[in-house]
Structure 1
Amino acid sequence: MQACLLEVFAHFPPVMAVLLVVLLLILTLFVLVTRKSSRHYPPGPRPLPLLGNIHNAPAQRQWKTFAAWKSTYGDVISLTIFGQRIVVLNSLESAIDLLEKRSAVYSDRPRMVMVGELLGWAQQLVFAPYGEHFRNMRKILHKYLGARGQLDKIEPYHEIIEAATAKFLVRALRDDSDFHLEHNVHMTSGTINLRIGYGHNIAEGDDELVQMMDDALVGFNRAAVPGAFLVDIIPALKWVPTWCPGTSWKRQAQEWKDLFVRMTEGPYAMAQQQAERGGHDNIVSMSLSEDMSPEDHYDLKMAVGSLYGGGTDTTVAIILSFILAMTLHPEAQKKAQKEIDALTNGERLPVIRDREELPYVRALISEVLRWNPLVPLGVPHRAIADDVYRGYFIPEGSTIVVNMWQLAQDPEVYADPEVFKPERFLGPDSERDIRTFVFGFGRRICPGLNLAEASTFAICARILAVFEIGKVVEDGKRITPDFAFRDGAVRFV
């Protein structure tokens, strides 16, 4: 057969022969794609041959488009981009069914070339493939921070959290015109994570270690935006040399990778030196032992690096959303302040152990999380095997995306979802607390959620106890702030 084909092609000019080969390849690929498309995938917008849904997939604020598609296609939607199957889950039921009840199939992460491979973040917990390295990192953090609901594991860190929040209040009370809210919230969150993880006490003013780690997070937030870099759609581009035209993105990736390496190596080495001098009050120092292998050091280094990388920006985003919500909804602020005053009599600051005595404050924080989901599309999962759900075929390698924004705004779960109403989480008929799923699902749930909840509660409760948050008054009129949420891996105000 091969000889016959060669004889046929021998009669064609070289250019024509090449064109025929290309045409045969295209036809073969089309047949394969058509055969695959005959399978009963979850419904979605009509794709183009070979290209998939490149023409109708949203480029920005995808969560809103996916939510709108729910009314047409249902709560489980699929689309393809250059052959990559993407399944979008628009309901809490489907997310729990797949990511928790079938976690053995859906606990992996998809390949993220830019942020995961070129920058190196796939070595840390959030983006690590499911396997031994991931399990070891999760085990380390669970040992010191606890699994979901193990709040007693965080008690040794209450003093650190409360001291950091007290310093934040002092800086804010100075009424200094140079006080920058986002920077100071970031310093507070960073102080907590660096102290617990590495034993590092942040200096007043600029801190070199914090600046280095924050620079790395800037690169992360830009590189992790879905579709921001073509290499995530065409992975082969990662091999293009940097001297080729149009590869400035690759040089940028190298700069961001260098920052990631410094972020993980520098603080770890510092904590090792502290341990040698007898300091054993942080996760790194408490975990070190003489019989550790290079692999053990690698697991520990990346696990603790995940604490800052995965926890600092999200806490900052929560606090900024909280302050905006209090500005827009003063009635909720007053109710929370009244509850705090009734407990403390204005004689002390609320502490983390007061959480059970301040149900409205906890409900208020939950409503902030529901009102502005920090990561609207969550962190994607990957199917490691073929699966069938509700009669729909989900092939191995599919990317699974949870539309957290839709889950938080779902009128089937939350009555009047557009209304800011902390009371929805109180009483015998309370609606489902957003905290039961906003930190992730199954084996991929955030291992630092107990620390995140304690830190967020301490900062928010103490801000409410000390400050009155309100609109700026100009010429006797209260000015409603003009705000927008910044697109990125984490959704900041």
Structure 2
Amino acid sequence: MSSFDNIVAFLSSHEYETSSALLYSPLLLVDSSSIPPSPPKHWLWGNKEIMGKPYRHVLLGTKYKHELGDIISTTTLTNTTIYLNTIELATEFLEKHTSVTSDRPRDVMSQDILGWATSAAFRNHDETHKKMRRVLASALHPTAARSYGPQHSVTIGWSTTSPCVSETHTKLAPGGRVPENWRERVQIRKSYADTMFNVVQEQVVQGRVEQPSYVSGLLESKGGANANDDDIYLIKYTGASIFSDCSRRQIILSDGMSISRGCKAGTSRDRFSSWERENPGLPDRSDLPYTEALVQEVMRMCPPAPLGLSHLVTEEFEFHGYRIPKGASVNGNIWAMLRDPNHFVSPHTFDPARFMGPNPEPDPRKYIFGFGRRVCPGLHVANNSSWVMCAGLLSVFNFQPGPQLAAKVASLGGRESEKLYELTEPYGPGDPLPFDCELKPRDAAAISLLENSD
């Protein structure tokens, strides 16, 4: 019998003594009567079972939303988590109480052992994080984001097919190479930042930058070879965060578009005939309204992080009559927000037209990048990059779902089914599951463009 089995057996056979002892635990001394309602709990483990269920964001945004309302809590032996199911509640909670909701929950495994504390997205809200935010804001504001348009290889000045980038991404990609030893994971994470940064730094020092970028621009502004260790740390790890986040968004966009009948946009609303020599760029954005709407709808249907990233409550306060305890985690249920029938007509139907016309529905890009002081500082670059990728694909290819994908959609109830979320990963980020899709060049001009591209 394992050690865990022994513990469970002991607790089961000494339920009275265990219950008495737990009365003095900090968890049970907390008054739970005034916190938001929660699903049924186990007498000892609390809501631990729910935390491990697939598509937890769907469960919280459908079944428990109907039973408990738009503010829900779950409790385990170690933590209380608050879930917010509407745009209004998430905005009020996370943007009007930023002084006490801007931190991240402590996660020793991801932050300390695996090294993700170097990422601006996951780092606790300390002085280094504030400096990271300032560095990112200085180089990623809307005007700067537009200046990256010509290449959109903004972080290091290379594309993902560059040998250095390709090798690093291959090691990090799911299924590409999963190291069995956690120490190797840490080393890969470190090399992800170091390898690419060091090459750009050498180019800056030698005065031979091949392609201006976020990293090269900031290094030059800090004196190149004279940049101090603090500046190098901030530039290196904010750059690594941008590159990984933007790449993921692009993958989600292209995959989500294929899942969601993106072929419609490639055949009708927008005319791409004027781009016979090159793909459309950001200056052409206003001329392609359906493509703009398509990007919005893909992000609504396939938000990159369905439950967002957790915030930490650092001081107790009252919210809509509920007590929000210090130390609680808070998640905005972005999946539920973007399927709220109060804001989106036929919310389970893929329909880019909802964002067109005189009365468009809310832009999902206002919510998928986070809230309050933890909103993604690279949102303008990510938004532009997603649009460029989408427009580029649609200008060259027509999309047709493959037979397996078509059969899967039919088995779920068709294109307007409420169960299409089952086409995405059941845990963590809402990445699409593997699927088959046929891509065909639109015309002779598209074939010529592909044959003559680098």
User: What TM-score does the superposition give when structure 1 sets the normalisation length?
Assistant: 0.74
Mean alpha-carbon deviation: is it higher for 69-78 or for 99-108?
A: 99-108
In structure 2, relative to structure 1, the CA distance for the partners of 1:333 and 1:40 (3 Å cut) is same
Look up the match of 1:185.
none
Look up the match of 1:353.
283
Task: Answer yes or no: is 1:398 the counterpart of 2:324.
Answer: no
Query: 2:124 & 2:28 partners in 1: Cα distance?
Result: 31
Look up the match of 1:269.
198
Look up the match of 2:406.
480
Query: 1:61 & 1:313 partners in 2: Cα distance?
Result: 20
Q: Which of 89, 92, 103 is the aligned partner of 1:97?
A: 92
Query: 1:415 & 1:437 partners in 2: Cα distance?
Result: 18
Q: Which of 153, 164, 168 is the aligned partner of 2:144?
A: 153
- Are the aligned partners of 2:171 and 2:177 in contact in 1 as well (CA < 8 Å)? no
Look up the match of 1:458.
388
- Are the aligned partners of 2:270 and 2:288 in contact in 1 as well (CA < 8 Å)? no
In structure 2, relative to structure 1, the CA distance for the partners of 1:214 and 1:403 (3 Å cut) is farther
In structure 2, relative to structure 1, the CA distance for the partners of 1:324 and 1:479 (3 Å cut) is closer
Query: 2:269 & 2:366 partners in 1: Cα distance?
Result: 22
Task: Answer yes or no: is 1:283 the counterpart of 2:214.
Answer: yes
Q: What secondary structure sits across from 1:374 in the alignment?
A: coil
One-letter code aligned to 2:117: A
**How many residue pairs were aligned?**
398
Look up the match of 1:133.
128
Please state how far the C-alpha of 1:90 moved relative to its aligned partner: 0.8
1:310-364 C-alpha deviation (Å, 9 max, x unpaired):
221122111111122235xx444433344x44xx386764221111222221111
Q: What secondary structure sits across from 2:314 in the alignment?
A: coil
- Are the aligned partners of 1:382 and 1:400 in contact in 2 as well (CA < 8 Å)? yes
Query: 2:49 & 2:160 partners in 1: Cα distance?
Result: 48
Structure 1 unaligned blocks of 5 or more: 1-21, 162-191, 223-248
Please state how far the C-alpha of 1:410 moved relative to its aligned partner: 1.3
Please state how far the C-alpha of 1:297 moved relative to its aligned partner: 1.9
Q: Which of 54, 64, 82 is the aligned partner of 2:58?
A: 64
Q: CA RMSD in A?
A: 2.9
Q: Which of 376, 383, 387 is the aligned partner of 2:317?
A: 387
Query: 1:261 & 1:403 partners in 2: Cα distance?
Result: 31
- Are the aligned partners of 1:213 and 1:259 in contact in 2 as well (CA < 8 Å)? no
Task: Answer yes or no: is 1:374 the counterpart of 2:304.
Answer: yes
One-letter code aligned to 1:53: N
Please state how far the C-alpha of 1:383 moved relative to its aligned partner: 0.8
Mean alpha-carbon deviation: is it higher for 360-369 or for 274-283?
A: 274-283
Task: Answer yes or no: is 1:53 the counterpart of 2:47.
Answer: yes
Look up the match of 2:450.
none
1:106-145 C-alpha deviation (Å, 9 max, x unpaired):
1111122322221101211110111211121121122122
Look up the match of 2:233.
298
Please state how far the C-alpha of 1:303 moved relative to its aligned partner: 0.8
Q: Which of 444, 450, 466 is the aligned partner of 2:374?
A: 444
One-letter code aligned to 2:429: V
Query: 1:219 & 1:109 partners in 2: Cα distance?
Result: 28
Please state how far the C-alpha of 1:367 moved relative to its aligned partner: 0.7
Q: Which of 105, 108, 128 is the aligned partner of 2:103?
A: 108
Q: Which of 253, 277, 285 is the aligned partner of 1:318?
A: 253
Please state how far the C-alpha of 1:417 moved relative to its aligned partner: 0.6
Query: 1:317 & 1:443 partners in 2: Cα distance?
Result: 25
- Are the aligned partners of 1:318 and 1:369 in contact in 2 as well (CA < 8 Å)? yes
Structure 2 unaligned blocks of 5 or more: 1-14, 410-422, 433-454
Query: 1:221 & 1:46 partners in 2: Cα distance?
Result: 40
1:11-55 C-alpha deviation (Å, 9 max, x unpaired):
xxxxxxxxxxx9878635314544423540011113334422124
Query: 1:409 & 1:220 partners in 2: Cα distance?
Result: 33
Please state how far the C-alpha of 1:213 moved relative to its aligned partner: 3.6
Map of 1:222-261 to 2, 5 A cutoff?
252-261=181-190
Relative contact order (alpha carbons < 8 A, sep ≥ 6): 1 or 2 greater? 1
- Are the aligned partners of 2:123 and 2:129 in contact in 1 as well (CA < 8 Å)? yes
Query: 1:214 & 1:470 partners in 2: Cα distance?
Result: 27
Please state how far the C-alpha of 1:487 moved relative to its aligned partner: 4.0
Q: What secondary structure sits across from 1:258 in the alignment?
A: helix
- Are the aligned partners of 2:246 and 2:385 in contact in 1 as well (CA < 8 Å)? no
In structure 2, relative to structure 1, the CA distance for the partners of 1:491 and 1:72 (3 Å cut) is same
- Are the aligned partners of 1:120 and 1:260 in contact in 2 as well (CA < 8 Å)? yes
In structure 2, relative to structure 1, the CA distance for the partners of 1:323 and 1:57 (3 Å cut) is closer
Look up the match of 2:449.
none
One-letter code aligned to 2:171: D
Determine which structure has more spread, i.e. the larger CA radius of gyration: 1
Please state how far the C-alpha of 1:422 moved relative to its aligned partner: 1.0
Please state how far the C-alpha of 1:198 moved relative to its aligned partner: 2.5
Q: Which of 2, 17, 35 is the aligned partner of 1:41?
A: 35
Task: Answer yes or no: is 1:197 the counterpart of 2:139.
Answer: no
Query: 1:51 & 1:71 partners in 2: Cα distance?
Result: 24
In structure 2, relative to structure 1, the CA distance for the partners of 1:100 and 1:322 (3 Å cut) is same
User: What TM-score does the superposition give when structure 2 sets the normalisation length?
Assistant: 0.80
One-letter code aligned to 2:196: P
In structure 2, relative to structure 1, the CA distance for the partners of 1:140 and 1:457 (3 Å cut) is same
